[in-house]
A = this chain, B = another copy of it.
Amino acid sequence: MKKLINSPEKLVVESTEGFVAAHADLVKAHFNPNYLARADAPVRGKVAIVSGGGSGHEPMHGGYVGAGMLDAACPGAVFTSPTPDQMYEAAKAVNGGAGVLLIVKNYTGDVLNFEMAADLLRADGVAVESALIDDDVAVKDSLYTAGRRGVGATVLAEKITGAAAADGLKLKEVANLCRKVNASARSMGIALTSCTVPHAGKPTFDLPDDEYELGIGIHGEPGRTRLKLEPADQIAGRMMEPIISDLPFKAGDEVLLFVNGMGGTPPLELYVLYRKALALAGQAGLKVTRNLVGSYMTSLEMAGASITLLKLDDTLKKYWDAPVKTPALRWGC
């Protein structure tokens, strides 16, 4: 797979330089250690929200830095956890005195490094809460994970907690809201092709021309099974069934339906998937009153998609609808 890059070594830093040059009104960058922060950080008196993870999932997380969402994001190397010093320095820089919520996707490296950063911050007297995202119903454990993986719910949690922090909620309240979003969300992904990690230079896995991978992870790690390629409507069914049959959905629930592209799947196809997922949600008695469709949490150029359902209540709806102004998600302002 050819890449539009100068070298794998320079990729993340050069991309970050381009990113902050393009979005200087919203985001500023710090290098050594690397993190992105709101241009106007720290925001005094507001709980700061910090997340991060390996690069290669853009626009997550840097694209979600801005008013009403993240205060800082820490990009690791491609598909590699950021280091504790990145997280520590980012959190220190954006802490406005009301404490810091760390949103952590459940991957072993991320969890360990965010824990270490939290310890360092507490030693400095910074109030810190961590909230884990593990919404992927595909597998119990996987290549990089003990327990379920954190996927699409991350984007929703960052939006909702960001709005809650902007609304003046306290650290414990924002952290508990994040846990509630995670507990109320379930996701599942599929891949039609592998991505290629720039350093590796060859596809992460081989997938025959007539097969797809059900339950894929966002680093190309294996899912549940490989199946012969099927029509999109059948694929939608295979993703929606395990999501809906898992907790916490029941007939009559209002839900947010998030159809996410893995990077290489065009909008034309994502909306075909959305169409069927919406119908299947309806058949299960769920009422889709909010949605998000697009490539918001990617795996480089992987062709594939994920579906996330989030059970809504008035609080989640209020914070989902609240204004947000980031490079990748923007409404209401």
How close is A281's CB to chain B, nearest CB, in angstroms?
11
The DSSP consensus for interface residues of chain A is mixed
The reply to whether A5 and B298 form a contact with Cβ atoms under 8 Å apart is: no
Taking Cβ atoms with an 8 Å cutoff, the residues of A that contact B are 1-7, 11-12, 14-19, 21-22, 55-56, 58-59, 63, 78, 192-193, 209-210, 212, 229, 231-233, 235, 263-276, 278, 291, 293, 295, 298, 300-301, 303-305, 330-333
Contact A303/B192 with A59-B267, A268-B58, A271-B19 known, Cβ cut-off 8 Å: no
Set B15, B293, B301, B333: member contacting A264, Cβ < 8 A: B301
Min CB gap A98→B, angstroms: 28
Task: Tell me how far the C-beta of A66 lies from the nearest C-beta in chain B, rounded to whole angstroms.
Answer: 12
> Nearest 7 A-B pairs (CB), nearest first?
A18-B275, A18-B271, A58-B267, A4-B269, A18-B274, A2-B192, A6-B231
Q: In the complex, what distance in Å separates the CA atom of A210 from the CA atom of B269?
A: 29
A293 surroundings in chain B (CB, below 8 A): 18, 22
A332: chain B residues at CB < 8 Å are 333
Q: Which of B59, B267, B272, B304 contacts A5 (CB 8 A)?
A: B272
Is the beta-carbon distance between A303 and B5 smaller than 8 angstroms? no
- Per assembly, the copies of the chain total 2
Tell me how far the C-beta of A14 lies from the nearest C-beta in chain B, rounded to whole angstroms: 5
Interfacial chain B residues near A1, Cβ < 8 Å: 303
- Known A-B contacts A274-B21, A330-B330; A269 and B231 likewise in contact (beta carbons under 8 Å): no
Pair A264/B267 contact, Cβ less than 8 Å: no
Pick from B12, B209, B273, B278: contact of A2, CB below 8 A.
B209
The answer to whether A301 and B6 have CB atoms under 8 Å apart is no
Smallest CB-CB separation from A298: which chain B residue?
A: B266
Q: For the complex, give the distance between the alpha carbons of A332 and B231 in Å.
A: 39
Question: In the assembly, what is the distance between CA of A5 and CA of B58, in Å?
Answer: 24
Cα–Cα distance between A3 and B232 once the two chains are bound (Å): 8
- In the bound complex, do residue B272 and residue A229 qualify as a contact, i.e. CB atoms below 8 Å apart? no
Partner of A212, one of B2, B19, B58, B212: B2
Say whether A229 contacts B58, CB under 8 Å: no
> Which of B14, B235, B274, B275 has a CB less than 8 Å from the CB of A272?
B14
For the complex with contacts A4-B192, A18-B272, 8 further pairs of A-B residues with Cβ separation under 8 Å are A2-B210, A6-B272, A11-B272, A15-B272, A16-B271, A55-B268, A78-B268, A266-B301
Q: Which of B11, B212, B271, B291 contacts A15 (CB 8 A)?
A: B271
Q: How far is the CA of A164 from the CA of B68 in the complex (A)?
A: 30
CB proximity of A234 to chain B, nearest CB, Å: 9
In the assembled complex, the Cα of A231 lies from the Cα of B3 at a distance in Å of 9
Contacting residues, chain B, for A272 (C-beta < 8 A): 4-6, 11, 14-15, 18
A233 partner residues in chain B, CB cutoff 8 A: 6
